[in-house]
């Protein structure tokens, strides 16, 4: 059945499952041997759908109102380039706001690999924008 799904359909199911907090539907989007690579944080890379399960159980538990948006998506063959935003209030009271790009390899209707470029949005700065740029005029 999964073999009849296009990458576009899989991306739509992936987004819907995250927003529905439907773990089983989310996991059905991933190949059993899914490979996740996080180039900027190599220690976060992993292989296997079971780790996807563990990661999303934690995400749904710690951010009960999690909402995910894909502002822009481009499909090139069986590769999806997805601009992503995840946000919500975590159980510890902190705001979650993560943005970036994920690249997903989706042959045969399941996500087989991913390259993840996500970072938390900076919530507060030590100095204001005006202070940063005001310093450049000191001569």
Does residue 83 contact residue 70 with C-beta atoms inside 8 Å?
Answer: yes
pLDDT at position 61 is: 97
What domains are defined for the chain? 2-137 (3.10.450.50)
pLDDT at res. 15: 98
CA–CA distances in Å: residue 89 to residues 12, 20, 59, 64, 65? 24, 16, 11, 7, 7
Lookup result for tokens 């005006």: 130
What is the per-residue pLDDT for 139? 46
- What are the pLDDT digits (tens) for 61-112? 999 999 999 999 999 999 999 999 999 999 999 999 999 999 999 999 999 9
Please tell me the distance from the alpha carbon of residue 72 to that of residue 78, in angstroms, as a whole number: 17
SS3 category, 112: strand
- State how far the alpha carbon of 100 is from the alpha carbons of 71, 72, 115, in Å: 10, 11, 11
Torsion of the alpha carbons at 64, 58, 75 and 13, rounded to the nearest 10: -60
pLDDT over 90 percentage in the chain: 83
Sequence-ordered list of residues with C-beta below 8 angstroms from that of 4, at least 6 positions apart, any chain: 109
pTM of the model: 0.85
* Residue 104 or 4, more confident: 104
């Amino acid at each position: 059945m999964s073999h009849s799904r296009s990458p576009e359909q899989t991306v739509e199911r992936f987004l819907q499952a995250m927003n529905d907090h439907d773990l089983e539907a989310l996991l059905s989007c991933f190949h059993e041997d899914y490979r996740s690579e996080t180039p900027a944080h190599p220690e976060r890379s992993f292989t296997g759908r079971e780790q996807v399960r563990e990661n999303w159980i934690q995400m749904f538990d710690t951010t009960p109102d999690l909402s995910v948006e894909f502002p822009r998506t481009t499909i090139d063959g069986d590769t999806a380039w997805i601009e992503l935003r995840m946000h919500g209030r975590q159980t510890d009271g902190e705001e979650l706001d993560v943005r970036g790009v994920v690249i997903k390899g989706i042959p045969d209707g399941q996500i087989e690999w991913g390259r993840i470029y996500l970072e938390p949005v900076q919530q507060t700065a030590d100095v204001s924008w005006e202070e940063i740029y005001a310093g450049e005029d000191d001569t």
